[in-house]
């Protein structure tokens, strides 16, 4: 008994010594990390560096943040050519939603919609629907593991992400080769066409690996944030029926709802959408109040002052889009969904340069912002024209901000199709219409 007691005491002492050693190591390493950042201060500037923690070595404040929370492709001409295709994809999708007997998870279906839009419209791939569905599932697995720790171990998120990326690139390579072999019958130049032609103009032939990387980047850029904004748009139209009705009134006034019917394919043009002032206000307010991402990162090119502190050259800083929108003095009643704040009479966003920046700002602003707004406008027009929809749960879901803003457990909504006189289409009729598409 005496020896067993001594062994227990010895084991406890060893454990305690290990814990103390690890704690001291962490404390010393964090202090060295702090000194490392303190040494980067600009000696020519007398201002102090900001107070606060720089986090732990290598990972910095990443953990704390997680807990807290090309140009031709998007030119006017390119967007004009995408528009009919985008409208067709959205019309097909809404028709499918309204033909479902049960409510749908809007966020999941919005992800599927934006993925389909990127593949069909931006890239011009003619992938069979069954293969497209499989590719979407693989892509979801890839996206879910993008932010995994870079530890390549079996069953780790990083390994699953790498495997998903390999499957994706194999499928994309097949689609690219088929696209390059079939050049007849195209009625517009998609983003991949423009990317290839632009490279040729600069005397460079893109390799297959570059093409695969470029297509994957385009899909990624058009996927998560647009799905997030689409879901927020539908949620706000559900919450504010007066906004939806006012939007319908504008469509009628502009002749887009002839006798109550929906705008036909090809009737929407960029100038038509630009003339819809209230529609623009609605999209702007959705992006103000429900910005898909929290912010962006930049490298300080020149030491500058912020609230009496110096931000040294070479530091990496994060600007917060959501905090900017929440605290900007130009916006009145910031928590209220009020599209009219962007009307010509009020123009709250015009009082200053950097109070409204859902797509970032400066030379590094989001290249795809015009495509994203175009997609959201067409979606809003089609929703107001062809669908009646209602919340399928008693209350609206909570919102989470990670990795992009979206409803927890999605948004359950029942869709009903409308005929040319804004009357609800019976399920059997809707099924017949869907079968003919």
Count Cα neighbours of 241 within 13 Å in the Cβ-side half-sphere: 4
pLDDT recorded at residue 57? 66
β pairing state of 387-391 and 316-320: unpaired
Tell which residue, 353, 359, 356, has the closest CA to residue 341. Answer: 356
pLDDT at site 264: 57
- pLDDT of the chain, 437 residues: tens digit per residue: 555 566 666 767 777 777 777 777 777 777 777 777 777 778 788 888 777 766 666 556 555 444 333 778 889 999 999 999 999 999 999 999 999 999 999 999 999 999 999 999 999 999 999 999 999 999 999 999 988 888 899 989 999 999 999 999 999 999 999 998 887 767 788 999 988 888 888 888 899 999 999 999 999 988 999 999 999 999 999 999 999 999 999 999 998 875 545 555 557 899 999 999 999 999 999 999 999 998 988 899 999 999 999 999 999 998 999 999 999 999 999 999 999 999 999 999 887 888 999 998 877 788 889 999 999 999 999 999 988 999 999 999 999 998 899 999 899 999 997 655 555 654 544 444 443 33
What pLDDT shows up at residue 53? 66
List beta partners, residue 413. 104, 391
Q: Where are the alpha helices (DSSP H) in 39-128?
A: 62-68, 76-99, 106-117
Ramachandran region, residue 369 (left: φ > 0; alpha: ψ -120 to 50; beta: rest): alpha
Task: State residue 433's pLDDT score.
Answer: 40
- Using one digit for the tens of pLDDT, what is the confidence trace for 270-281? 999 999 999 999
What pLDDT score does 346 carry? Answer: 94
**Whether the bond into 259 is cis, omega within 30 of 0:** no
- 349 dihedral zone (left: phi>0; alpha: psi -120 to 50; beta): alpha
264 has binding-site annotation:
no
For residue 378, the model assigns a pLDDT of 97
Residue 69's pLDDT is 36
Largest CA distance in the chain: 96
Residue 74: predicted pLDDT = 87
Positive or negative, the Cα torsion across 147, 153, 155, 161? positive
Helices vs. strands in the chain: H and E counts, helices first: 14, 9
pLDDT at residue 425, as a whole number: 58
Picking from 238, 215, 286, 176, the residue whose alpha carbon sits closest to that of residue 390 is 238
Distance of CA 198 to the CA centre of its chain: 26
Take residue 264 and report the two structure tokens written for it.
Answer: 């036909």
DSSP letters for 202-222: TT-PPPHHHHHHHHHHHHHHH
What is the pLDDT, as a whole number, of residue 60? 62
| pLDDT score of 18 | 76
Question: What sign does the CA torsion over 423, 428, 433, 437 have?
Answer: positive
Q: Residue 402: what are its φ and ψ, rounded to 5°?
A: -120, 135
pLDDT value of position 16: 75
Give the integer Cα–Cα distance in Å for 221 and 236. 24
Give 259-262 contacts, CB < 8 A, sequence gap 24+: 259/420, 259/421, 260/420, 260/421, 260/422, 261/385, 261/420, 261/421, 262/382, 262/385, 262/386, 262/418, 262/420
pLDDT the model gives residue 343:
96
């Amino acid at each position: 008994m005496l020896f067993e007691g001594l062994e227990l005491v010895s084991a406890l002492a060893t454990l305690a010594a290990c814990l103390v050693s690890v704690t001291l190591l962490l404390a010393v390493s964090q202090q060295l990390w702090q000194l490392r950042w303190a040494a980067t201060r600009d000696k020519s500037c007398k201002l102090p560096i900001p107070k606060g923690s720089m986090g732990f070595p290598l990972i910095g404040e990443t953990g704390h943040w997680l807990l807290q929370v090309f140009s031709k492709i998007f030119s006017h001409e390119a967007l004009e050519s995408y528009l009919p295709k985008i409208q067709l994809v959205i019309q097909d999708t809404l028709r499918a939603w309204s033909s479902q007997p049960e409510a749908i998870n809007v966020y999941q279906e919005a992800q599927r919609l934006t993925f389909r839009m990127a593949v069909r419209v931006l890239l011009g791939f003619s992938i069979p629907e069954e293969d497209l569905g499989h590719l979407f599932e693989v892509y979801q697995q890839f996206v879910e593991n993008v932010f995994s720790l870079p530890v390549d171990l079996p069953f780790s998120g990083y390994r699953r992400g790498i495997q998903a990326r390999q499957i994706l690139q194999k499928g994309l390579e097949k689609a690219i080769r088929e696209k390059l072999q079939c050049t007849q019958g195209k009625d517009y130049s998609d983003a991949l066409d423009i990317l290839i032609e632009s490279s040729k103009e600069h005397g460079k032939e893109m390799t297959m690996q570059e093409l695969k990387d470029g297509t994957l980047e385009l899909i990624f850029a058009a996927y998560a944030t647009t799905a997030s904004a689409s879901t927020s748009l539908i949620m706000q139209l559900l919450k504010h029926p007066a906004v939806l009705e006012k939007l319908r009134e504008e469509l009628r006034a502009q002749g887009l709802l002839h006798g109550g019917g929906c705008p036909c394919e090809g009737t929407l043009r960029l100038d038509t959408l630009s003339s819809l002032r209230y529609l623009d206000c609605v999209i702007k307010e959705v992006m103000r109040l429900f910005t898909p991402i929290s912010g962006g990162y930049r490298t300080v090119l020149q030491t500058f002052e912020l609230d009496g502190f110096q931000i040294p050259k070479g530091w990496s800083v994060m600007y917060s889009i959501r905090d900017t929108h929440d605290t900007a003095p130009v916006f009145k009643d910031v928590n209220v969904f009020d599209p009219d704040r962007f009307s010509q009479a009020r123009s709250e966003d015009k009082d200053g340069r950097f109070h409204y920046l859902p797509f970032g700002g400066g030379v590094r602003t989001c290249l795809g912002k015009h495509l994203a707004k175009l997609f959201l406008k067409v979606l809003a027009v089609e929703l107001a024209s062809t669908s009646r929809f209602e919340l399928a749960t008693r209350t609206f879901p909570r919102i989470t901000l990670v990795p992009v803003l979206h409803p927890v457990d999605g948004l359950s909504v029942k869709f009903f199709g409308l005929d040319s006189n804004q009357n609800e289409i019976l399920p059997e009729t809707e099924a017949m219409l869907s079968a003919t598409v």
